[in-house]
Amino acid sequence: YAATQWAAARARANLGATVIEMVTYRADAHSTSDDPSRYRAANEASAWPLGDPIRRLADHLTALGEWDEERHAALAAELAEHVREEGRAAEALGTLGQGPQLDRKTMFDDVYKDMPAHLRRQREQMLGGE
């Protein structure tokens, strides 16, 4: 927060751009099919400085009297249901195994303004096989 305040003040004073390096940590798996225990220690997340940022924010707001565990649990449930609804809506459009099959000839369209030579060759190889 302090770094962004400083950068904003610099920008407002026309002192040029500022690069702020942020370091993040993904405590959970990439997806439900990912098993992080294969590539990191089980207690690794607990060593992260200051702990879980969501939990820290909840604790901070609770200490200020602006939040409580009941509201936190209700929000978590609401968001979980929202994610489920959005997942169902996305799956209704089709999944990898079921749904509309796009014409493979179009996969190179609208990717680059000027298609690189290696992709032109790949497209020609693909179309030549038909």
Is 108:119 a contact under the CB 8 Å cutoff?
yes
Within 8 A by CB and 6+ apart from 68, the residues are 62
Enter the pTM of the model. 0.53
Q: How many helices (H) and strands (E) would you count in the chain?
A: 4, 0
- DSSP letter for each residue of 74-112: HHHHHHHHHHHHHHHHHHHT--SSSSPPPPGGGTTTTS-
Q: How far is CA 106 from the centre of its chain?
A: 27
CA 67/CA 75 separation, integer angstroms: 11
Tell me the average pLDDT of the chain.
90
Domain ranges of the chain: 1-49, 52-99, 100-130
pLDDT single digits (tens) 26-56: 777 888 788 888 888 888 878 877 888 888 9
Is 52:27 a contact under the CB 8 Å cutoff?
yes
pLDDT at 21: 94
Within 8 A by CB and 6+ apart from 48, the residues are 25, 27
Q: Which residues of the chain have pLDDT under 50?
A: none
